[in-house]
Amino acid sequence: MLIRIGSRGSRLALTQAELAATRLRRSGVEIALVPITTAGDRDRTRPFGEIGARGVFVKELEEALLDGRVDIAVHSAKDMTSTDTEGLVVGAYLEREDPRDALCGADGLRPRMRVGTASIRRRAQLLALEPTLSIEPLRGNIDTRLRKRGERGLDAIVLAACGLDRLGLAGEIGLRFDPDVIVPEAGQGALALQVRAGEEKLVATTDHEETRRRVEAERACVAVIGGGCLAPVAAYHDGEQLTALVAAEDGSWVERRSGEDPGEVAAALTPYVTA
């Protein structure tokens, strides 16, 4: 049996797709990787908010699934929208790796540092920690952003620790921010294997139950809050409780709530989304 796996074409995305392929091959199936270019890959200069809503790295993969051109799409769970696209489901989550944000180029924040990131979630929380920081937009794949840090003379950049780990670039990390300090993106650190509804059996053997429990709680919370790439919203479940955050993009205010029920946590934060 041949299973076609759709993936973005970056080095990290293909590495992640191969992680999924390795697990699926254990059940005796043959795998073909199908690279697909997304809107977020084509436009590497404009901010995410100008390209479209959250999902700029997902839409084309979902279309390939719906059209029958691939059988499974592998996503970084943090790139997905907070609700499932009609006709598609996450059939499996691979076991979550490090969910934390990583500071590369320095071992801590200092006043007036120049820090690169395209994420408004990171921007808001970084400025809340150190208001004198200069946050500069920085896009591209991991290798490109690491290179641009030197070319532009930035003091540091912030990336997802899991991506650096998967590419063997953990040595670039000067500090891994504790989730209590910078709340990660919902789903960060987890890989989602998306399939057509009714075809969950294709990936069922790879599903990690605890990762699913935690990531689905994070996604549910963000869905109620109504955030995404266009709003500084974050959610992270540590295994015991869920913590979510909304903030002003300039870091002038940050609101956090924690609890066991995603709906209750989200309801406590929803009034601040339009504040």
Cβ count within 10 A of residue 91:
21
Does residue 124 lie in a domain region?
A: yes
Does residue 129 lie in a domain region?
A: yes
Q: How far, in whole angstroms, is CA 104 from its chain's centroid?
A: 18
Does residue 1 lie in a domain region?
A: no
Does residue 186 lie in a domain region?
A: no
In degrees, rounded to 5, the angle at the alpha carbon of residue 240 between the alpha carbons of residues 235 and 244 is 20
Q: How many CA atoms lie within 13 A of 190 on its CB side?
A: 32
> How far is the C-alpha of 163 from the C-alpha of 13, rounded, in Å?
9
- Asked if residue 158 lies in contact with residue 104, where contact means CB atoms within 8 angstroms, the answer is yes
> How far is the C-alpha of 87 from the C-alpha of 198, rounded, in Å?
9
Give the domain CATH number at 160: 3.40.190.10
- Domain count across the chain: 1
Per-residue pLDDT of the chain (275 residues; tens, 9 = 90+): 899 999 999 999 999 999 999 999 998 999 999 999 876 555 455 454 543 455 667 999 999 999 999 999 999 999 998 889 999 999 999 999 999 999 999 999 999 999 999 999 999 999 999 999 999 999 899 999 999 999 999 999 999 999 999 999 999 999 999 999 999 999 999 999 999 999 999 999 999 999 999 999 999 999 999 855 567 999 999 999 999 999 999 999 999 999 999 999 999 999 888 65
Strand pairing report for 88-93 and 191-196 = antiparallel
Amino acid identity, residue 240? E
Does residue 55 lie in a domain region?
A: no
Does residue 139 lie in a domain region?
A: yes
Q: What is the pLDDT of residue 41?
A: 59
Q: What is the pLDDT of residue 48?
A: 47
Q: What is the pLDDT of residue 113?
A: 98
Domain that holds residue 161: 101-176
Find all residues with CB under 8 Å of 251, minimum gap 6, and list them: 123, 124, 125, 126, 127, 128, 129, 131
Does residue 154 lie in a domain region?
A: yes
Q: What are the residue numbers of the active site?
A: 79
Does residue 162 lie in a domain region?
A: yes
